[in-house]
Structure 1
Amino acid sequence: MNAKQRTILFLIADTGAGHRSAANAITNAIRIISQKEQEEWLTRTAAQQRESTVSPGNTAGTTVQEAVAPPPTYRIEIVDVFEEYSRFPLREAVKLYGPTIRYNPRLFGEVFHISNREGPVMAGQLLTTPLILNGLLRLFTTVQPDIIVSIHPLLNHVTVRALREFHLRIPFLTVVTDLVTVHYSWFAEGVDGYIIPTKQAQELYLKRGLDPQKVHLLGMPIDPKFTLPIASKEELQRKFGLRPGLPVVLLVGGGDGAGGLQAAVRAISHARLPVQLMVVTGRNKRLYAHLQRTKSHLNVPITIFGFVQNMPELMHAADVIVTKAGPGTISEALSCDLPVILSGYVPGQEEGNVTFVTENDVGVLAMDPPTLIDALRRLTKPGSPDLRRQLANAKRLSRPGASFDIAQCILSYLPTPDAQTVWQTTWGRRRQRMMSGRLRSAIRIRRLRTTLPKPLLRGPLVRRLTSSRTRDISNKSGDLTHPADRNL
């Protein structure tokens, strides 16, 4: 008997590196869980095979394959929906996130706060849904997922709308990746389950009046390798060529190497602090080259890294971390019992992360050189009481195994291994043919509009044809209504 495969679709957008990192962390956890299930099944079937061979009373003729069904396997798809399945101008507008937070973060903060209400969110959905709905239709028809998981706030309401309009009964979950400042768009009525990282986010969810049975407080997804055994701090420091006995400060600016790394390095060097630095510049090749050129002129020892894959080792080798207020890096630092100095934050989106760090006393906010130097002096002096207190608080808050808990929660929403999925039923196959037909019709209409003269494009016939596509499912569904809907 062959194990049935279940398909898990993660919806993300590469607005920053955090959403894809969270999806990758959960994916790695699912793969580890699946590998363990397969190994346990092989061990169990091998044991049963031996027992059936030596047992003289085994006359039933039952095979091992019939007695023990193999666990399911998992096909996982991670899709940047805006980049791959949305239309202009939505696809291009989403790309403004990076430049905005880099060059005008105050503007981003103002937009965040203005839009963090029901009215603006619903208005935004009304404007953007026509630019992405047919893309989601094509995505669902192509991938045929057994479960859909959103890891981006702007994808929740439109996915609920798409599933309802297409009459697809597929479990839909949302994994929230903001610690405290959770935007209104994260929570959409109709989602089957919400996985959230903190009690503050849970309280915000409950204030919205949503179903408390659907919320799961499981922590922030970080890479499963943060749970693996690791060498001692002394061994890791020797591995990276660090000086023994000298406090190690790790400076991280995220995947793009932002967060004021250069200014922080310059301030620490100017203060001549008795520390040594490890600096992770990420994908910022210009900053990496600049630090390499100037490191001989610095007044502190420094080791420079580009984009790294061994962040757990770097964090365990350090005594303090200086970073921007990204939720992923904060959660990773806590899992390594590392005090946090926040060198900056994105207004609106990351303001709550600062509150989370300071109110739980696991770190401080230091956005200017004097505050940064003062915080480092207090944390790196021998026998520092601030360091001991923050280490204890970090141990209390850390959830290094959150990705495994989230993965298990997602898997619990999948159909059982012996059950048919929505795509395998007769109803599902008819629905798929109808959806594919609608998609082809939408493409034909779009091509027609690109070749017709402009006066005709403005005519009532084309407008009527175009608007009819949005009602196509309702008008043509007929007896294709899902069996569970017929009693409504």
Structure 2
Amino acid sequence: MSNTGGGHKASAEAIKAAFQETYGDKYEITIVDLWKEHTPVPFNAMPDTYSFLVRNAILWRITYQFTNPKLVHVPYLSAVSALVSRHVSKALDEYNPDLVVSVHPLMQHIPIKVLRDRIRAGASKPVNFATVVTDFTTCHNTWFCPGATRCFVPTDYCRDLAISNEMDPRQIIMHGLPIRPAFSRRLPPKPRLRKQLGMDPGLPAVLLVGGGEGMGALEETVAQLDGRLGDKCQVVVICGRNQKLQDRLRARPAGAGHPLLHVRGFVDNIHEWMGACDAIITKAGPGTIAEALIAGLPILLNGNVPCQEEGNIPYVVDNRVGAFETRPDRIAAIMDSWLLKGSRAWFADMGKRARALGRPEAVYRIVDDLAALTEEPYFDFGPATAALIGPDGAKKKKSWRPHKHPHGHPHGNGPMLAAAPA
């Protein structure tokens, strides 16, 4: 993986957790940041470069759009591959995986090429390569490499985009986004859950999420919610790693006339906080949206990373499970109408539509299919096909049988390498 945004790492960890829950210790799953840990300077600085670019929207938009066409990114990644392939090959030697899984858009073309070269040269056994797309709608074209064995996509939009990038429909499997298994478990009734979390069991509650770094205009939004909702509501703020923001929010006025404020930093029980609240305010990250849908929460989107998260906004709005607004005063007004002044039946219907779109089973279906891919190499697509090509370029007879149960349960126990950004 590569540490370019928390969503990729969360997806990898969700897949690992579902493997462990379903198959126990039958599989060894290793999550690796290939860019940071196994490429030379300057490529190992990619996570820091990404963080800089997304904070400079114009630069990020130019970079994203310039590299999106196949005519640009294919030769670019081929050139990069020539510089990093030796290092990536060493990593594959170290981990010796039975399956490589990518959850990052820049981790298809290079590792697939390295795998093919190793297999053709006899330096590696034939193995499969799977891509798990972790964007909802707007996807960079580098997600889709015809050289992958399988590509798991969350939506019809992503499936169509994969086909437009010359992937065969037989390579593409649509289950949904891989969300941590905790979201598939039944929670206590909302009043009891609120008491467990130290909340008021009877007050309407809004969840305000700032992401891992506490990004977004959280402080101003809290101030506007305070002025608009008063003490008729409680507000849960997840600040991520932003300790200064936590301190400032905890210093805000409290008591009569002010919302009951619950301030938290980085949490590992976000499923419980979502289950305890009535609505969520968050940026348009695909993982948080998917989690909120499973929880049946109406979603108010308050921002987005340019390009790759833009398509998530109409997905939420057009499916009538939420709204989009960036101005803190308007955000507070919308929350006022949702929680206090609007039709309760209309608000409840929005939550029902959200829950209907949620796919809590997706991660388990993905894991079952990945487990099947560890059984033996597939020779219809993917890097294992390189084993059928001799040094002279002529096709050889395969000595393995193609797997006949793509959705079956495995009996193997080899290691799996999750190659993606954290």
Alpha-carbon distance in structure 2 between the residues aligned to 1:127 and 1:206: 25
Q: Give distance in 1, aligned partners of 2:165 and 2:182.
A: 35
Q: In the alignment, is residue 282 of structure 1 matched against residue 213 of structure 2?
A: no
In 1, Cα distance between equivalents of 2:319 and 2:58: 26
Checking the alignment, whether the CA contact within 8 Å between 2:221 and 2:332 is kept in structure 1 is no
1:388 offset after TM fit, Å? Answer: 2.2
In the alignment, what sits opposite 2:408?
none
Q: CA deviation at 1:344?
A: 0.5
Give the equivalent residue in structure 2 for 1:402. Answer: 362
Within 5 A, what are the aligned runs for 1:44-193? 73-102=26-55, 104-166=56-118, 167=120, 168=124, 169-193=126-150
- Label 1:295 to 1:113 Cα distance change in 2 as closer, same or farther (>3 A): farther
Structure 1 match to 2:220: 263
Q: Secondary structure at the match of 2:236?
A: strand
Measure how far apart 1:209 and its partner are: 3.6
Larger Rg: 1
1:433 maps to which residue? Answer: none
> Structure 1 residues 382-391 or 329-338, which shifts more?
382-391
Cα distance in structure 1, aligned partners of 2:329 and 2:321: 20
Report whether the alignment pairs 1:233 with 2:190. yes
Please report how far the alpha carbon of residue 365 of structure 1 lies from its aligned counterpart in structure 2 after TM superposition. 0.6
* Residue-pair matches, total: 381
Displacement of 1:206 after TM fit? 2.4
TM-score, scaled to structure 2: 0.85
1:338-417, aligned counterparts within 5 Å? 338-381=297-340, 383-415=343-375
* 383-392 or 13-22: bigger deviation: 383-392
User: SS at 2:134's partner residue?
Assistant: coil
Q: Deviations over 1:149-184 (max 9, x none)?
A: 011111101112111221252100000000001111
Contact kept in structure 2, 1:90 and 1:131, CA below 8 Å? no
Q: Residue 14 of structure 1 is aligned with which of 3, 25, 28?
A: 3
State the alpha-carbon separation in 2 of the partners of residues 219 and 193 from structure 1: 14
Partner Cα separation in structure 2 for residue 80 and residue 190 of structure 1:
21
Shift of 1:266: 1.6
Q: Where do 5+ consecutive residues of structure 1 fail to align?
A: 1-11, 39-72, 418-427, 429-473
Q: Looking at secondary structure, tell me which structure has more helix per residue.
A: 1
Of the two structures, which has the highest relative contact order with CA contacts closer than 8 Å and spacing of 6 or more? Answer: 2
- Contiguous gaps of at least 5 residues in structure 2: 378-386, 400-422
CA distance in 2: counterparts of 1:253 and 1:331, whole angstroms:
16
TM-score w.r.t. the length of structure 1 is 0.74
Partners of 2:353 and 2:216 in 1: CA distance: 24
Alignment-derived partner of residue 26 in structure 1: 15
- Structure 1 vs Structure 2 CA RMSD: 2.4
Letter of the 2:113 counterpart? R
Query: Does the 8 Å CA contact 2:239/2:263 hold for their aligned counterparts?
Result: yes
**1:378–1:384 contact (8 Å) kept in structure 2:** no
Letter in 1 for 2:284: A
Q: Please give the secondary structure, in 2, of the residue aligned with 1:409.
A: helix
Structure 1 vs Structure 2: percent identity of aligned residues? 32
Q: Deviations over 1:286-314 (max 9, x none)?
A: 11112122253883220111111111110
Aligned AA for 2:37?
Answer: E
Match of 1:421 in 2: none
The C-alpha deviation readout for 1:116-172, integer Å capped at 9, x for no partner, is: 111221232133213321121001111110010011111101112111221252100
- By how many angstroms is 1:111 displaced? 1.8
* AA partner of residue 399 (structure 1): R
| Cα contact 1:29–1:224 (8 A) shared by 2 | yes
Shift of 1:85: 0.5
Q: Distance in 1 between matches of 2:201 and 2:179?
A: 29
1:232 deviates by: 0.7
Code of the aligned partner of 2:136: L
Question: C-alpha displacement at 1:96, in angstroms?
Answer: 1.3
1:237-286 Cα shifts (integer Å, max 9, x gaps): 11223223321000111111112211211221132443210111111111
**Residue 130 and residue 295 in structure 1: after superposition, are their counterparts in 2 closer, same or farther (change >3 A)?**
farther
Rounded to whole Å, the distance in 2 between the matches of 1:217 and 1:151 is: 15
Contact 2:61–2:306 at 8 Å: present in 1 too? yes
Q: Distance in 1 between matches of 2:22 and 2:251?
A: 45
Say if 1:322 and 1:341, in contact at 8 Å, map to a contact too.
Answer: yes
Q: Which residue of 2 aligns with 1:56?
A: none
Distance 1:255 1:307 in 2: 7
Deviations 1:18-66 (Å, cap 9, x if unpaired)? 111101100110111113xx8xxxxxxxxxxxxxxxxxxxxxxxxxxxx
CA pair 295-304 structure 1, distance change in 2 beyond 3 A: farther
C-alpha displacement of 1:484: 3.7
CA distance in 1, matches of 2:28, 2:253: 46
